[in-house]
Structure 1
Amino acid sequence: MKLVDKKLQAVWDNAECLHSAEALEKGVQHMAKGIRKQLHDQNPLLLCIMNGGLVTCGQLLPMLDFQLQLEYVNAASGPSGKQETRWPALSQISIEGRSVLLLDDIFDMGNSLHSLQEYCLEQGASKVLTGVLVEKKHSRAKKDINIDFHAVTVGDRFIFGAGLDYQGYLRNAPGIYAVAAKK
């Protein structure tokens, strides 16, 4: 990938590919199979969590061959150390009595997903499931949230690509890449 910014180019040049585009596609297909099995007869509402969930949602939707609605929510964790979540855009579709699937790029700490799950349940959702492209495995994640569907897992590394950003860039990288450790 050719980048204009020299610092970004150095990040790209030194990054380690953890999951190729092909591996991600297989993982998303596996997610779709599980989602179809659980939600095919429930007319679910899929909530794409922007911006990171956009790529995963775009890959996943054509694989879901059943009745559903799609909406988006923009959620962002607050400043480091704070457990707040902001929702600049909330779904305009009623979720009362509905099965909801939250789709995001990554499960890292779990604060945003946990807050969105609670919000959906407070709004009367009958159940709330979670799907992420990447489940990050580490001990700091919230213990009271389960990920129902994921495409791939990674260790505790700073990653980018396939919707995940590095300082607002590199979401378009064709796989999941880890930023090289500083020497």
Structure 2
Amino acid sequence: MNEGTLAQALKHSVVVHDRQAIEESIARMSVRIRNDFAGSVPVYLTVMHGGLPFAAQLALELGARGLDLEFDYLHATRYRGAQSGGSLHWKHRPATPLRGRRVLLVDDIVDEGHTLSEVRAWCRSEGALDVRIAALAVKAHNRCVPGLTADYSGLVVPDRYVYGYGMDYHEQGRNLPAIYALE
């Protein structure tokens, strides 16, 4: 299918995970994160733009379970609206000092993990004591960057073009309340 409108994409897509399944997985994930970060106030780094819907929902679940967070964000991309990635381009680095801190990177998906791998390495180079990754979805394949996995993940998605709940279809559909896959 050629790049087109979101309406066209939806006609050729199936729902992989509906809103209820997404929200239930985020609630389950929040328990483990709260337990692992108990006694600390982690720097909660949302990876923009895709991580925003998931990060907001996860933050509320963590707050409901008594875990305080220090919010910041980063914007690093390899895609720039394309379907395949290139070199990492930083649009915004976090302003919060990471030296001596525990960091939770929050993103929409771990596909092959190149972006998250580079961002995690950057956080470590800034002196973070512990850098963990929370991803709403993990793509089902074996092409991930060696050594990169999500420490906390909610859902598995097929090895197809997926969009919705933060993930985009050519910069469209990030605010869809479900995850779709092109057929």
Tell me the alpha carbon deviations over residues 132-151 of structure 1, each in whole angstroms, 9 at most, x when there is no partner: 11111212211211211111
Q: Which moved more, 1:65-74 or 1:96-105?
A: 65-74
> 1:169 — aligned with what?
172
> 2:91 — aligned with what?
88
Q: How far has the Cα of 1:174 moved from its partner?
A: 1.6
Q: Give me the whole-angstrom Cα distance separating, in 1, the residues matched to 2:142 and 2:148.
A: 13
Q: How far has the Cα of 1:78 moved from its partner?
A: 5.8
Is residue 11 of structure 2 the alignment partner of residue 13 of structure 1?
Answer: yes
TM-score, with normalisation over the residues of structure 2?
0.90
Match of 2:55 among 54, 57, 66: 57
Q: Percent identity?
A: 32
The correspondence of residues 18-29 of structure 1 with structure 2, limited to 5 A, is: 18-29=16-27
Unaligned runs of 5+ in 2: none
Q: What is the Cα-based RMSD across aligned positions, in Å?
A: 1.5
Q: Give me the whole-angstrom Cα distance separating, in 2, the residues matched to 1:78 and 1:62.
A: 28
Kindly provide the amino acid, as one letter, of the partner of residue 164 in structure 1: M
Is residue 128 of structure 2 the alignment partner of residue 109 of structure 1?
Answer: no
Q: Give me the whole-angstrom Cα distance separating, in 2, the residues matched to 1:161 and 1:71.
A: 23
Query: Is the Cα contact below 8 Å between 1:28 and 1:133 reproduced in 2?
Result: yes
Q: How far has the Cα of 1:40 moved from its partner?
A: 2.1
> 2:67 — aligned with what?
66
Size of the aligned set, in residue pairs, is 174
Query: Is the Cα contact below 8 Å between 1:53 and 1:103 reproduced in 2?
Result: yes
> 1:35 — aligned with what?
33
Q: What secondary structure is seen at the aligned counterpart in 2 of 1:104?
A: strand
Q: Give me the whole-angstrom Cα distance separating, in 1, the residues matched to 2:166 and 2:148.
A: 22
Q: What secondary structure is seen at the aligned counterpart in 1 of 2:156?
A: strand
Q: Give me the whole-angstrom Cα distance separating, in 1, the residues matched to 2:88 and 2:47.
A: 12
